């Protein structure tokens, strides 16, 4: 039963949706990395619900850094971040014991943990746990920024509404860093919100696609075969609830291209090696080539919908019909954006520490 990810910089998650608290432990970060609690609060705010397009459960996400940080700097020992759950309503789930909500992990959790799991609000499988990931990721994002590595994610698509593609990356990443609803085209933003509210009125939900760019990564990071950059990122990204697909560069579209179209020609730009195009998303042979890292995540529609659904009571062995109650998101794509940034930062810190040593992130 594994809740830890990473080799050189490792993250452990703990807690349940309706338990007393959730949290994360980060082990392996170098000493001397600045930690600004205001930035952690800002990042957690990006994950919180937003008006009519999100759940009514709004947690303040008050956190306490229990260890590993002294006078605003990491000490080099494990960092423990604790976030109390203050707005759980467990009574909403009392009638659901033994019932497999379609699209959720209720039955698979029962099969794995033999009925001892905490099923309230999805327990340890809940998207609520991503708040701990965001808090941990904020420290990693800030550390990478100090090294010139910038991460940004925009909502590429919600329902059938698409945002514009990334353009001038420094400007686009700066724009996204300030946006609570991370869309580059304001018109697409309004249309996406309309699509979410329309689904909510129908008791339904919608999904979408998140597109991430990372600039400033040096060439030569990653390992061939099993610890490729794609492999390590995909491993972590698929742990984010509702992520059902990950593609790098042009991804599946590469399968429809010819080699002459898919290859990225190399050129010299002063003393730097660059590629003219970036169909491969900044990665060759599982290793960064110095160009921007680009990937997309497919986020499925929120599985909890306010319509009757066919399911089973697996404790009684009966077929039943079930309809959701309580507080739920009609779409989680906009809230997941900061989670993807956070996971990306944690994985990159791990990969960079493996390539250059753990002290590299703190300039020691």
Q: Does the structure show a pLDDT above 70 at 94?
A: no
State what percent of residues in the chain have pLDDT above 90: 86
Round to whole Å and give the CA distance between 69 and 17: 26
Q: Does the structure show a pLDDT above 80 at 124?
A: yes
CATH level 3 topology of 4-362: Chorismate synthase, AroC fold (3.60.150)
Partner residues linked to 309 by β-bridges? 322
Give 29-57 pLDDT, tens digit per residue.
999 999 999 999 999 999 998 778 887 66
Query: Which residues have C-beta within 8 Å of that of residue 173, sequence separation ≥ 6?
Result: 150, 151, 152, 213, 215
Higher pLDDT, 169 or 92: 169
Q: Give residue 1's pLDDT.
A: 62
* Pairing, β 318-322 against β 309-313: antiparallel
Quick one: which of 9, 36, 16 has its CA closest to 132?
16
> In which region does residue 103 sit, left (phi positive, over 0), alpha (psi from -120 to 50) or beta (all else)?
left
Query: Which residues have C-beta within 8 Å of that of residue 28, sequence separation ≥ 6?
Result: 6, 8, 9, 10, 350, 353, 358
How many C-beta atoms surround the C-beta of residue 143 within 10 A?
24
| Mean pLDDT value across residues 261-269 | 98
**Residue 88: pLDDT band with limits 50, 70, 90:** low
Q: Does the structure show a pLDDT above 90 at 326?
A: no
pTM of the predicted protein model: 0.95
| Mean pLDDT value across residues 306-313 | 94
The helix or strand, by DSSP H or E, that contains position 298, with its residue range, turns out to be strand 293-299
Query: Which residues have C-beta within 8 Å of that of residue 108, sequence separation ≥ 6?
Result: none
Instruction: Name the least confident of 60-74, 89-103, 317-331.
Output: 89-103
Domain ranges of the chain: 4-362
Q: Give residue 325's pLDDT.
A: 77
Q: Does the structure show a pLDDT above 90 at 218?
A: yes
Q: Give residue 96's pLDDT.
A: 78
């Amino acid at each position: 039963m594994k809740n830890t990810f990473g080799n050189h910089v490792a993250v452990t998650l703990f807690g349940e949706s309706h338990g007393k608290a959730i949290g994360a432990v980060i082990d392996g970060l170098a000493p001397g990395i600045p930690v600004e609690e205001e930035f952690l609060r800002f990042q957690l705010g990006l994950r919180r619900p937003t008006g009519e397009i999100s759940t009514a459960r709004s947690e303040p996400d008050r956190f306490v850094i229990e260890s590993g940080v002294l006078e605003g700097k990491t000490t080099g020992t494990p960092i423990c971040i604790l976030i109390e759950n203050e707005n759980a309503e467990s009574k909403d789930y009392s009638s659901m014991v033994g019932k497999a909500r379609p699209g959720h992990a209720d039955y698979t959790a029962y099969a794995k943990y033999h009925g001892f799991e905490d099923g309230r609000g999805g327990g340890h499988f809940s998207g609520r746990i991503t708040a701990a990931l965001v808090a941990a990721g904020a420290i990693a994002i800030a550390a990478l920024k100090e090294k010139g590595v910038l991460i940004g994610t925009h909502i590429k698509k919600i329902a059938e509404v698409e945002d514009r593609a990334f353009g001038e990356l420094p400007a686009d990443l700066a724009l996204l860093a300030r946006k609570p609803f991370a869309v580059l085209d304001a018109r697409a933003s309004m249309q996406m919100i309309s699509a979410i509210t329309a689904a909510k009125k129908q008791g339904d939900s919608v999904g979408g696609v998140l597109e991430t760019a990372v600039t400033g990564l040096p060439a030569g990071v990653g390992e061939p075969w099993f610890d490729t950059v794609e492999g390590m990122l995909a491993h972590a990204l698929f742990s984010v609830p509702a992520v059902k697909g990950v593609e790098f560069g042009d991804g599946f579209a590469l399968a429809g291209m010819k080699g002459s179209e898919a290859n990225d020609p190399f050129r010299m730009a002063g003393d730097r090696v660059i590629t003219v195009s970036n169909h491969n998303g900044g990665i060759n042979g599982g290793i960064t080539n110095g160009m921007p890292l680009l990937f997309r995540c497919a986020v499925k529609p929120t599985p909890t919908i306010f319509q009757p659904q066919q399911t089973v009571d697996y404790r009684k062995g009966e077929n039943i019909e079930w309809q959701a109650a309580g507080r739920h998101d009609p779409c989680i794509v906009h809230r997941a954006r900061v989670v993807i940034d956070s996971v990306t930062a944690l994985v990159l810190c791990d990969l960079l520490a493996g390539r250059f040593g753990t002290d590299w992130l703190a300039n020691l």
